[in-house]
Amino acid sequence: MKKTTTTSLAKKMTIALVCGLVAGLALMFVRESLNSSGSAAAWTAINNILFQDITAAGAESALGIFYIIGQLFIKSLQLVIVPMVFTSIALAIGQISDTRTLGRISAKTIGIFLLCSFFALVLACVVGILCYNMGMFSAQVEGLTGAAGSTGSNPLNVVLNIVPSNIATAFSSNTAVLSIVFLAAAVGLCMNALPAEKTSLLKKLITEVNDVVVVFLNYVVTKFGPFAIFVLLTRTFASYGINYLRPALAYVVVTTVLLFLFLLVGYPLFVAVLAKQNPITFIQKISNVAIFGFSTSSSAATLPLNQKTCTEGFGVDETIASFVLPLGMTINMNGTAIMQVVATVFIAGCAGYSVTFFQLVVIALLALIASAGTPAAPGAGAVILFTILSGVGFTNDAALLAYALILAINRPIEMLVTSLNVVGDAVTSICVAKSEGKLDETKYNAN
């Protein structure tokens, strides 16, 4: 029954993806046609009824039907991010009584995260510098204002944010997921250190909360997921103009090709080499997670489906998946790192900066650190990009204009980036489970 449900959901999501893309692109061309023919008022009326962000200034009378539906779906998923991450990690660690086993699993998880990130960054740096030297990243950016409100910060701040100074603050914000991971790990370790009779009530409470969260998320994803995907994709592309795409066409094409290459070739190779499993089977089963991540553009919103797919579809032991996937959601951002490297080199080309080998290494390291601290929310990667630009000194007026261009056109790229991020977490969970003898290969290979 579970296998049938998962297969049916994947088909529904694929249909929703295709329909959403077709409808969105068709409406994009309708928008351009109406605006260019002097009928901008007609598109404004359509936009106000269907797609307008009703929270924006001047949108007091708009209906924004697609916007409301999409936001209700995203918020219903975000609602349980904190309790799900906390309970799943606390239970996963609490069930591993052997601290040496826990340390080994943690080391393997971090090691595979870094290995994937290394190859992703090497690929982005090599292709990025080749395109830079070929003059592909020399667009003239006109008609854009500087990126207002974007500030740089030391990427090492992510280390400080691991330990919260106030437990209530950590639990009240979806952007403090790394702090939740720390608190959950601390609770799990402390439960291990205490006698079972002293923690039985706490374990039962955490287990029951986790069960409630899982039931809620399964209902939201299976019942409303496909329709929400259609709505989100249609609105994204219908609201998206092509005016900004032309000067940044090289950036869009290069980044898209790299992301697809790592998604469809790089990750399956890791599964084949490290886990010794069929990469074709992996691609087939992970497609629903990639589609969901693409549609929502949020690693956090995709976490429930990713965990369900890893445990039921790939046969990853629940203790491994419950530990690896929430941790990966917060620090394993290969897609974000690739996008940030290419975007930084693109901005350097637009702004007239030279990019040396040493600067490229610095860009890669900053991208690795900054991506690890990127919130698992839509659009966060492009905002954090300014941290890297500040770190390498690419901050003249032309660079700020190019950065504003990235912010303007990066939404479709961010969607694909999210797919790469969430699939990378699944890859790590499979590889760790295989190395620990906790991968059910019968489930993995089941059609």
What pLDDT digit, counting tens, does each position of 168-189 carry? 888 887 667 678 878 888 898 8
The mean per-residue pLDDT over the stretch 289-293 comes to 89
Q: What is the Cα–Cα distance from 102 to 108, expressed in whole angstroms?
A: 10
Instruction: Classify 364 as helix, strand or coil.
Output: helix
Burial of 153 (0-12, 13-18, 19+ CB in 10 A): middle
Do the Cβ atoms of 31 and 240 come closer than 8 Å? no
Task: Indicate left, alpha or beta for 337 from its phi (over 0: left) and psi (-120 to 50: alpha).
Answer: alpha
Give percent of the chain with pLDDT exceeding 90: 25
pLDDT of residue 381: 62
pLDDT of residue 282: 95
Is 53 inside any structural domain? no
pLDDT in tens, 388-427: 887 788 878 778 778 877 876 777 788 889 899 999 999 9
Contacts of residue 194, Cβ cutoff 8 Å, sequence gap at least 6:
none
- Helical spans, DSSP H, in 79-195: 81-94, 99-133, 157-160, 167-171, 177-193
Closest by CA to 232, choosing from 1, 69, 370, 345, is 69
Contacts of residue 123, Cβ cutoff 8 Å, sequence gap at least 6:
258, 261, 262, 266, 338
Closest by CA to 343, choosing from 399, 415, 295, 260, is 399
pLDDT of residue 214: 77
Q: What is the Cα–Cα distance from 12 to 279, expressed in whole angstroms?
A: 23
Tell me: pLDDT of 267 over 90: yes
pLDDT of residue 148: 45
Determine the angle formed by the axes of helices 99-133 and 267-274, rounding to 10 degrees.
140
pLDDT in tens, 195-213: 888 888 998 999 899 888 8
Higher pLDDT, 227 or 387: 227
Counted domains in the chain: 1
Closest by CA to 70, choosing from 55, 83, 80, 82, is 55
Tell me: pLDDT of 14 over 60: yes
The pTM of the full predicted model, rounded to 2 decimals, is 0.75
For residue 401, the enclosing domain spans 97-216+242-445
pLDDT of residue 154: 58
Q: What is the Cα–Cα distance from 25 to 33, expressed in whole angstroms?
A: 12
Angle CA(259)–CA(115)–CA(376) in degrees, nearest 5?
55
Is 121 inside any structural domain? yes
156: domain CATH number is: 1.10.3860.10
DSSP assignment of 184-246, as one string?
A: HHHHHHHHHHS-HHHHHHHHHHHHHHHHHHHHHHHHHHHHHHHHHHHHHHHHHHHT--STTTT
- Least confident range from 67-71, 263-267, 395-399, 415-419: namely 395-399
pLDDT in tens, 360-375: 888 888 888 777 656 5
Backbone torsions φ then ψ of 24, nearest 5 degrees: -65, -45
Task: Indicate left, alpha or beta for 38 from its phi (over 0: left) and psi (-120 to 50: alpha).
Answer: left
Is 20 inside any structural domain? no
Is 33 inside any structural domain? no
Which helix H or strand E contains 68, and what residues bound it?
Answer: helix 65-78
Do the Cβ atoms of 236 and 23 come closer than 8 Å? no
- Residue 7: band (very low, low, confident or very high) from pLDDT cuts 50, 70, 90: low
Residue 316, strand partner residues: 439
DSSP assignment of 161-190, as one string?
A: TTS-S-HHHHHT-TT-HHHHHHHHHHHHHH
Higher pLDDT, 115 or 366: 115
Is 55 inside any structural domain? no
Is 9 inside any structural domain? no
Backbone torsions φ then ψ of 268, nearest 5 degrees: -60, -35
Contacts of residue 26, Cβ cutoff 8 Å, sequence gap at least 6:
none
Burial of 368 (0-12, 13-18, 19+ CB in 10 A): buried
pLDDT in tens, 229-240: 888 888 877 876
Is 23 inside any structural domain? no
Do the Cβ atoms of 283 and 199 come closer than 8 Å? no
Token code pair at residue 85: 């991450």
pLDDT of residue 244: 54
Token code pair at residue 407: 């912010």
- Residue 272: band (very low, low, confident or very high) from pLDDT cuts 50, 70, 90: very high
pLDDT of residue 129: 92
The mean per-residue pLDDT over the stretch 337-364 comes to 88
Q: What is the Cα–Cα distance from 220 to 200, expressed in whole angstroms?
A: 30
Tell me: pLDDT of 268 over 50: yes
pLDDT of residue 35: 82
Name the residue type at position 372: A
Q: What is the Cα–Cα distance from 358 to 214, expressed in whole angstroms?
A: 47
Is 390 inside any structural domain? yes
Backbone torsions φ then ψ of 439, nearest 5 degrees: -110, 120
